[in-house]
Amino acid sequence: MIDAKLYIGGHFIDADHRERVAAKYSGECAGSFPVADEELVSMAVAACTEAGQALETMPTHKRADMLEFISLGLKKEESKFAEMIAIEAGKPIKQARAEVRRAQQTFKFAASCASEIEGASIRLDAAVGSESKYGFYLRVPAGNVAAISPFNFPLNLVAHKVAPALAAGCPVILKPASYTPLTAFMLAELISRAELPAGAFNLVYGPGTCVGMSLVKSDDIRAITFTGSAEVGLEIARNAGIKRLILELGSNSAAIFDASANLVSAVPKLVAGGFSYAGQVCISVQRIFVAEEVYDDFMASFVPAVRALVSGDPLNEDTDIGPLISESDAVRVESWVDEAISAGAKALVGGKRHGSFYEPTVLVDTTNEMKVMNREVFGPVVCVVPFSNFPEAVDMANDSIYGLQAGVFSKNIDNINEAIARLRVGGVIINDVPTYRADHMPYGGVKMSGLGREGLKYAIEELTDIRMIVIQR
């Protein structure tokens, strides 16, 4: 059991009020965490501000060394971090290990990118009247960063906020999800040994309505990086004022499977993409559009593969599906599926709730008016819809308020080109699921899926300002 602490100004401190953290499978107490108030949040912001000059002027190689130190620390403590993710997030242990390995890479990529932050020269003499001037620009830290992270990747999505901020020279305050605070505390313990300037990294806990919104509204916070729901993202945008925003929001990601696609290689990817971490992934496969002429063959392979998934204790090596993050989330998924079935959909497999578990579910005969199609389920539910021609499939995939990523399975170059040209998403993944993400690629969406891009180089660009220098010869 871990009793977490706040980390402010280089010191671990407590607060008057603490809350319990439940193990998501057993319900037993996994630890506790202190809830910050506005005074403690103000202390964290002040600590950031005080650390700004020291972090900005720190030699790049030292910043890179510290990020490399954190990456190596995660590698050494992989088992410890993976076990905590499995306990407090309910993520199957084999998936938890994969998350820790990705977080190691994320900090390693950040270490490399810290050394590659570049400006550029500008040919001012291209403008009449500026023949005697030359210019260049630098990229400089934007300032204090508020990092608000979700429960579903309590280590790697934290890494995607903290690592680029530190690489850019920006002090950061992390507010992790209250469902999964203990992994963040373990990371804070590791970062505390990296010899960062005091206040360069801070950790606070508490509800978004209080702690999160205090950070969002603070005039001393210059950038906010957030992953979560579109509704909360809108609230942040309304209250942030003039700040840099990286908002990674919701999705109901689509995959298109045409008549030329390779069934044998596609089905395992689609099963993993739809049901890893019980579908609680922003780019989880939620809608699959299948060409009519191969629909029966596809379903004959896909449905048994889903039925074979094993639900159970996340610490068991054989477990594919763990519990949802809370029973209330499982109840919500149940209500959406029941509503769809009442409106004419059919569950070919699954469709039942068992406490905080929801069975891996495949729905057919769905329509776009159903929540399971037009909203983000964030649960182990996949809808399969036939299409008659490829342009129709693209239109159906685009018929969404979201636009994060889409997958296209095809050997037909014309279909591939059409998908690339017409899919209104932040990433088009050819012959793989929309759930694919390499941690150094630009990642983000359009429409209600958000603003800005993650991926170390691209997040650093979001967290730096351009300073133009003009010199008279």
- Known catalytic residues are 248, 282
Distance (Å, rounded) from C-alpha 348 to C-alpha 351?
Answer: 8
227 residue type, one letter: T
Q: Which residue has the tokens 């510290």?
A: 66
Give the Å distances, CA to CA, from 211 to 51, 367, 421: 21, 39, 42
In whole angstroms, how far apart are CA 396 and each of 44, 116, 249, 409, 423? 46, 41, 21, 16, 10
Tokens of 164: 């680029």
The answer to whether the CB of 249 falls within 8 A of the CB of 450 is yes
Best CA proximity match to 85, nearest among 95, 70, 74, 72: 95
Written as one string, the DSSP assignment of 148-161 is: E--SSSTTHHHHHH
What are the Cα distances from residue 451, in Å, to 287, 403, 458, 459? 23, 11, 12, 11
Nearest alpha-carbon partner for 81 in 7, 170, 165, 153: 153
How far is CA 319 from its chain centroid? 23
Report how far apart the first and last C-alpha atoms of the chain are (Å, whole number).
65
Give the max Cα distance, the chain.
76
| CB-count burial class (<10 Å; 0-12, 13-18, 19+) for 413 | exposed
Question: Taking a C-beta distance cutoff of 8 angstroms, is the pair 231, 262 a contact?
Answer: no
Asked whether 303 and 288 are in contact (CB, 8 A), the reply is no
Residue written as tokens 């202190």?
34
